[in-house]
Amino acid sequence: MAIIQVNNLCKSFNYYKKEAGLKNSLKNLFYRKTLVKEAVKNISFEIEEGEIVGFLGPNGAGKTTTLKMLSGILYPTSGDATVMGYVPWERKKKFKRKFSIVMGQKSQLWWDLPANESLHLNKHIYEISNKDYHTSMEELAELLDVKDLLNVQVRRLSLGERMKMELIASLLHRPKVIFLDEPTIGLDIISQKKIRKFMKYYNEQTKTTIILTSHYMNDIEDLCKRSLIINQGSIVFDGEIKKVNELFEQKKIIKLQLEDYVEKDVLGGFGTVKQYDGYNVLLEVDKRELKECSKAILDDLPVIDFNVEDIPIEEGIELLYKKKGSVDRIVEKAY
């Protein structure tokens, strides 16, 4: 049975439109035009225990709103959802002790206190025994390599070090479900890699179910076998992220390094020129014509180096982002 089940979940927000200026401010006191923003529109999906699922979408697509409903922070406008058998927005105590949510842009640690003070507070909030608390602290601090930083004020830690402390705070009570909302935002490449490595190891050891939102494709490709892509409040893809491009025209990228200068118009006869400086060329060709095109290039051009690659995943995702929500719904069940 799925640990997370979502059926036709919707969330709308009312807001008001106001023009600039004093006159419009006075007018707004007596009459305001109410507008409705459909942040999430009839989304449905299931997630099995132990899965790490990527949750992608452009800014304002509905990712964080969905996570807030699944964690009980927001009430939905309509629809149903269960997490570990609980209805999240009922906010039952047993449910709250079994999940965590980490938001990369919001901290749960006290800024002017050492991290271990905030962690000790979480011990009491979640009613963790002394034995389990010290065991978890020792293990997590060792894995994240922050044992020497626990006594340092949070505001004196680097962004990467603070995020590691946030993860410890969220994992102390051993949750069965974790919602990670852009946990690597603003981090350098090395810090991102360390956190990805930790989350992969932690998932393998504990079989914790994780939903991860991120704008960094390395996070998704390294951690998630399955991804959901949401746009304008609707799910437009559900499957393996590497199969995104299969939903669109089959294209291949040919990378060329030329010994002699070749005019761009000449190269255009072999495919669509994506990048060009006379000697280094990126060509986009139809997959069905790859064999013939490759032979013609090698026969007719002064090629030093030749390489064939798939279209970057980012380009396929960009095409999905341009789809108009449920009108152009494309869901690929590929997991």
**Looking at the predicted structure, is the pLDDT value of residue 27 above 90?**
no
User: From CA 304, how far away is CA 283, in angstroms rounded?
Assistant: 15
Please state at what angle helix 189-206 crosses helix 159-171, rounded to 10 degrees.
Answer: 10
Angle, CA of 309, 315 and 316, to the nearest 5°: 95
**Looking at the predicted structure, is the pLDDT value of residue 47 above 90?**
yes
Instruction: List, in order of start, the domains of the chain with CATH numbers.
Output: 4-10+40-244 (3.40.50.300), 250-312 (3.30.70.1560)
Listed residue (45, 51, 5, 44) closest to 210, CA to CA: 51
| Cβ atoms 89, 9 nearer than 8 A | no
**Looking at the predicted structure, is the pLDDT value of residue 97 above 80?**
yes
**Looking at the predicted structure, is the pLDDT value of residue 34 above 90?**
no
The string of pLDDT tens digits covering residues 156-183 is 998 888 989 999 999 999 999 999 988 8
**Looking at the predicted structure, is the pLDDT value of residue 18 above 80?**
no
**Looking at the predicted structure, is the pLDDT value of residue 191 above 70?**
yes
The amino acid sitting at 274 is K
**Tokens 């280094």, located at residue:** 280
pLDDT at 320 (0 to 100):
67
The string of pLDDT tens digits covering residues 292-332 is 899 898 988 898 999 887 776 666 677 666 654 433 444 44
This prediction's pTM: 0.76
- When pLDDT is averaged across residues 178-200 and rounded to a whole number, the result is 88
Give the pair of three-digit tokens for residue 255. 């990378």
Better-predicted residue by pLDDT, 149 or 60: 149
The string of pLDDT tens digits covering residues 104-160 is 777 888 888 999 999 999 999 999 999 999 999 999 999 988 999 999 999 999 888
The string of pLDDT tens digits covering residues 219-272 is 888 899 899 988 888 888 888 877 776 665 577 888 999 888 888 888 888 888
